[in-house]
Amino acid sequence: MCASCDDTFASPGPKSELEEGMALTPRFGADGLITAIATDAATGDLLMVAHMNAEALKKTIETGEAWYWSRSRAALWHKGDTSGQIQTIVEMRIDCDQDAVWMKVKVGGDGGSCHTGRRTCFYRAIPTGRPVEGLTLEPRDAGKLRPAFG
Closest approach of a second copy to the CB of residue 76, in Å: 16
Closest approach of a second copy to the CB of residue 53, in Å: 14
Distance between the two ends of the chain, CA-based, in angstroms?
A: 25
Q: Is 96 annotated as a binding residue?
A: yes
| Burial of 105: CB neighbours in 10 Å, binned 0-12, 13-18, 19+ | buried
Q: Which residues lie across from 138 on neighbouring strands?
A: 125
Closest approach of a second copy to the CB of residue 82, in Å: 18
Question: 30-49 mask for a second copy (x: CB under 8 A)?
Answer: -----x-x-x---xxxx-xx
What is the rounded CA–CA span in Å between residue 150 and residue 147? 10
Pair type for strands 87-94 and 100-107: antiparallel
**Residue among 5, 11, 82, 130 that touches a second copy (CB under 8 A):** 130
Question: 90-129 mask for a second copy (x: CB under 8 A)?
Answer: -xxxxxx---xxx-----------xxx-x--xxxxxxxxx
What is the rounded CA–CA span in Å between residue 14 and residue 16? 6
Determine if 81 is a binding residue for a second copy (CB under 8 A). no
Question: Residue 65: which residues within 8 A CB-CB, separation 6 or more?
Answer: 78, 79, 80, 86, 87, 88, 89
Residues that bind a second copy (CB under 8 A): 8-9, 19-24, 35, 37, 39, 43-46, 48-49, 58, 60-64, 89, 91-96, 100-102, 114-116, 118, 121-132, 135-140, 148
